[in-house]
A and B are shown apart, each in its own frame.
Chain A
Protein backbone atom coordinates (compact mmCIF):
# COMPACT_ATOMS: atom_id res chain seq x y z
CA UNK A 1 0.00 0.00 0.00
CA UNK A 2 1.43 3.35 -1.11
CA UNK A 3 0.94 5.76 1.78
CA UNK A 4 1.88 8.93 -0.09
CA UNK A 5 0.19 9.58 -3.41
CA UNK A 6 1.49 12.35 -5.64
CA UNK A 7 -0.26 13.95 -8.57
CA UNK A 8 0.27 14.49 -11.35
CA UNK A 9 2.74 11.73 -12.11
CA UNK A 10 4.13 13.53 -15.17
CA UNK A 11 3.97 17.19 -16.14
CA UNK A 12 5.35 18.91 -19.22
CA UNK A 13 4.88 22.66 -19.38
CA UNK A 14 6.24 25.72 -21.16
CA UNK A 15 8.68 28.10 -19.52
CA UNK A 16 6.80 30.81 -17.60
CA UNK A 17 3.78 28.70 -16.70
CA UNK A 18 2.68 27.97 -13.13
CA UNK A 19 2.10 24.50 -11.72
CA UNK A 20 1.03 22.72 -8.56
CA UNK A 21 2.05 19.26 -7.36
CA UNK A 22 -0.01 17.48 -4.72
CA UNK A 23 1.00 14.96 -2.07
CA UNK A 24 -1.84 13.15 -0.29
CA UNK A 25 -2.10 10.56 2.46
CA UNK A 26 -4.68 9.04 4.76
CA UNK A 27 -2.09 9.12 7.55
CA UNK A 28 -1.00 12.01 9.75
CA UNK A 29 2.64 13.03 9.56
CA UNK A 30 4.56 14.94 12.20
CA UNK A 31 6.51 16.53 9.35
CA UNK A 32 6.77 16.24 5.59
CA UNK A 33 9.75 16.87 3.37
CA UNK A 34 9.95 17.83 -0.30
CA UNK A 35 12.95 16.83 -2.39
CA UNK A 36 14.09 17.29 -5.96
CA UNK A 37 16.17 14.65 -7.67
CA UNK A 38 18.26 14.76 -10.83
CA UNK A 39 18.98 11.53 -12.76
CA UNK A 40 21.72 9.44 -11.14
CA UNK A 41 22.00 11.68 -8.09
CA UNK A 42 20.59 11.63 -4.58
CA UNK A 43 17.47 13.65 -3.71
CA UNK A 44 18.15 17.21 -2.55
CA UNK A 45 16.06 18.60 0.29
CA UNK A 46 13.91 21.59 -0.65
CA UNK A 47 11.88 22.13 2.52
CA UNK A 48 10.50 20.58 5.70
CA UNK A 49 6.99 21.50 6.83
CA UNK A 50 5.96 20.81 10.39
CA UNK A 51 2.88 22.75 11.47
CA UNK A 52 -0.62 22.14 10.06
CA UNK A 53 -1.55 24.99 7.72
CA UNK A 54 2.07 26.09 7.40
CA UNK A 55 3.15 27.88 4.23
CA UNK A 56 6.82 28.18 3.28
CA UNK A 57 8.26 30.07 0.34
CA UNK A 58 11.57 29.37 -1.35
CA UNK A 59 12.02 31.92 -4.17
CA UNK A 60 9.47 30.82 -6.81
CA UNK A 61 8.45 27.70 -4.86
CA UNK A 62 5.60 27.74 -2.32
CA UNK A 63 4.99 24.77 -0.04
CA UNK A 64 1.88 24.21 2.02
CA UNK A 65 1.14 21.63 4.73
CA UNK A 66 -2.52 20.71 5.14
CA UNK A 67 -4.35 21.69 8.32
CA UNK A 68 -4.72 18.03 9.30
CA UNK A 69 -1.06 17.28 8.39
CA UNK A 70 -2.14 14.59 5.92
CA UNK A 71 -1.39 16.41 2.69
CA UNK A 72 0.94 18.94 1.16
CA UNK A 73 1.34 20.91 -2.05
CA UNK A 74 4.18 22.44 -4.00
CA UNK A 75 3.43 25.41 -6.26
CA UNK A 76 5.98 26.73 -8.74
CA UNK A 77 5.50 30.19 -10.21
CA UNK A 78 6.91 31.07 -13.63
CA UNK A 79 8.62 27.71 -14.14
CA UNK A 80 12.07 27.67 -15.73
CA UNK A 81 13.94 24.87 -17.55
CA UNK A 82 16.19 24.59 -14.48
CA UNK A 83 13.15 23.40 -12.49
CA UNK A 84 13.09 20.18 -14.53
CA UNK A 85 13.46 17.11 -12.34
CA UNK A 86 11.76 14.52 -10.16
CA UNK A 87 9.87 16.04 -7.22
CA UNK A 88 9.30 13.79 -4.21
CA UNK A 89 7.39 14.29 -1.00
CA UNK A 90 8.33 12.11 1.97
CA UNK A 91 7.65 11.54 5.64
CA UNK A 92 8.39 9.16 8.47
CA UNK A 93 6.26 7.30 11.00
CA UNK A 94 5.26 3.99 12.49
CA UNK A 95 2.91 2.10 10.19
CA UNK A 96 0.93 -1.10 10.53
CA UNK A 97 3.95 -3.23 11.42
CA UNK A 98 4.79 -0.92 14.31
CA UNK A 99 8.30 -0.39 13.09
CA UNK A 100 9.56 2.99 11.89
CA UNK A 101 9.64 3.64 8.15
CA UNK A 102 10.44 6.68 6.02
CA UNK A 103 8.17 6.77 3.01
CA UNK A 104 8.56 8.56 -0.30
CA UNK A 105 5.67 9.61 -2.50
CA UNK A 106 5.15 8.22 -5.96
CA UNK A 107 6.98 11.20 -7.48
CA UNK A 108 6.16 13.88 -10.04
CA UNK A 109 8.39 14.11 -13.06
CA UNK A 110 8.44 17.72 -14.28
CA UNK A 111 9.79 18.90 -17.60
CA UNK A 112 9.90 22.60 -18.37
CA UNK A 113 10.35 23.43 -22.04
CA UNK A 114 12.21 26.57 -23.13
Chain B
Protein backbone atom coordinates (compact mmCIF):
# COMPACT_ATOMS: atom_id res chain seq x y z
CA UNK B 1 0.00 0.00 0.00
CA UNK B 2 1.20 3.52 -0.77
CA UNK B 3 2.13 5.70 2.16
CA UNK B 4 1.62 9.43 2.46
CA UNK B 5 2.88 11.23 -0.63
CA UNK B 6 3.88 14.87 -0.92
CA UNK B 7 4.78 17.12 -3.82
CA UNK B 8 6.99 18.75 -4.74
CA UNK B 9 10.05 17.30 -3.01
CA UNK B 10 12.01 20.54 -3.13
CA UNK B 11 11.00 24.10 -3.88
CA UNK B 12 12.86 27.39 -4.10
CA UNK B 13 10.92 30.67 -3.89
CA UNK B 14 11.74 34.31 -3.30
CA UNK B 15 10.40 36.55 -0.56
CA UNK B 16 6.85 37.77 -1.16
CA UNK B 17 5.88 34.89 -3.42
CA UNK B 18 3.15 32.35 -2.83
CA UNK B 19 3.56 28.58 -2.54
CA UNK B 20 1.21 25.59 -2.66
CA UNK B 21 2.23 22.23 -1.24
CA UNK B 22 0.26 19.05 -1.87
CA UNK B 23 -0.36 15.89 0.11
CA UNK B 24 -2.16 12.60 -0.49
CA UNK B 25 -3.02 10.57 2.60
CA UNK B 26 -2.88 6.84 3.13
CA UNK B 27 -5.91 5.17 1.57
CA UNK B 28 -8.74 5.05 4.10
CA UNK B 29 -7.39 7.88 6.25
CA UNK B 30 -9.74 10.84 6.51
CA UNK B 31 -7.50 13.17 8.51
CA UNK B 32 -4.55 15.16 7.21
CA UNK B 33 -2.22 17.34 9.27
CA UNK B 34 0.50 19.78 8.27
CA UNK B 35 3.70 20.55 10.18
CA UNK B 36 6.63 22.91 9.79
CA UNK B 37 10.05 21.70 10.86
CA UNK B 38 12.89 24.16 11.03
CA UNK B 39 16.39 22.71 11.03
CA UNK B 40 17.36 21.41 14.47
CA UNK B 41 13.87 21.55 15.92
CA UNK B 42 10.92 19.20 16.22
CA UNK B 43 7.86 19.51 13.95
CA UNK B 44 5.44 22.34 14.76
CA UNK B 45 1.74 21.73 14.21
CA UNK B 46 0.12 24.01 11.61
CA UNK B 47 -3.28 22.51 10.76
CA UNK B 48 -5.34 19.37 10.99
CA UNK B 49 -8.27 18.63 8.67
CA UNK B 50 -10.82 15.89 9.16
CA UNK B 51 -13.56 15.17 6.64
CA UNK B 52 -12.76 18.46 4.87
CA UNK B 53 -13.24 20.53 8.01
CA UNK B 54 -10.49 22.27 9.98
CA UNK B 55 -10.18 20.38 13.25
CA UNK B 56 -7.17 22.11 14.72
CA UNK B 57 -4.78 24.99 14.19
CA UNK B 58 -1.36 25.81 15.57
CA UNK B 59 0.17 29.21 16.25
CA UNK B 60 0.83 30.30 12.68
CA UNK B 61 -0.10 33.60 10.98
CA UNK B 62 -3.00 33.96 8.57
CA UNK B 63 -0.53 33.77 5.68
CA UNK B 64 -0.81 30.01 6.18
CA UNK B 65 -3.98 28.34 4.98
CA UNK B 66 -5.02 24.86 3.96
CA UNK B 67 -7.89 22.88 2.59
CA UNK B 68 -8.91 19.26 2.19
CA UNK B 69 -10.61 17.89 -0.88
CA UNK B 70 -13.38 15.26 -1.20
CA UNK B 71 -10.76 12.59 -1.91
CA UNK B 72 -9.07 13.59 1.39
CA UNK B 73 -5.97 14.99 -0.29
CA UNK B 74 -4.87 18.38 0.98
CA UNK B 75 -3.09 21.57 0.03
CA UNK B 76 -1.10 23.92 2.23
CA UNK B 77 -0.83 27.50 0.96
CA UNK B 78 1.60 30.10 2.22
CA UNK B 79 1.32 33.70 1.04
CA UNK B 80 3.84 36.55 1.19
CA UNK B 81 6.75 34.22 1.89
CA UNK B 82 9.36 35.29 4.41
CA UNK B 83 12.91 34.03 4.79
CA UNK B 84 11.83 32.41 8.06
CA UNK B 85 9.35 30.21 6.20
CA UNK B 86 12.27 28.13 4.92
CA UNK B 87 11.74 24.70 6.43
CA UNK B 88 10.76 21.10 5.85
CA UNK B 89 6.98 20.94 5.51
CA UNK B 90 5.57 17.62 6.60
CA UNK B 91 2.17 16.15 5.91
CA UNK B 92 0.73 13.32 7.99
CA UNK B 93 -2.44 11.30 7.73
CA UNK B 94 -4.15 9.53 10.58
CA UNK B 95 -6.91 7.04 11.14
CA UNK B 96 -7.41 6.48 14.84
CA UNK B 97 -5.76 7.34 18.15
CA UNK B 98 -4.03 10.44 16.73
CA UNK B 99 -1.26 8.23 15.36
CA UNK B 100 0.31 10.22 12.55
CA UNK B 101 1.88 8.64 9.47
CA UNK B 102 4.24 11.09 7.83
CA UNK B 103 5.19 11.71 4.26
CA UNK B 104 8.76 12.46 3.14
CA UNK B 105 8.23 16.21 3.32
CA UNK B 106 8.71 19.18 1.02
CA UNK B 107 11.89 21.17 1.51
CA UNK B 108 11.04 24.87 0.96
CA UNK B 109 13.82 27.40 0.58
CA UNK B 110 12.94 31.09 0.52
CA UNK B 111 15.61 33.40 -0.88
Contacts and interface: CB of A to CB of B under 8 A. Distances in A.
A35 B105 CA distance: 15
Q: DSSP class of A's interface residues: helix, strand, loop or mixed?
A: strand
B88 interface: yes
A42 B103 contact: yes
A33 B100 CA distance: 8
Contacts, number: 65
A102 B48 contact: yes
Interface residues of B, number: 25
B99 A42 contact: no
B45 A102 contact: yes
The number of chain A residues touching the other chain, given as a range, is: 20 to 34
Interface stretch (B54-62, B69-77, B78-86): B54-62
Contacts of A101: 45, 56-58
Given A41-B104, A41-B105, A102 B99 contact: no
Contacts of A43: 43, 90, 100, 102
Interface of A: 30-31, 33, 35, 40-45, 48, 50, 86, 88, 90-92, 99-107
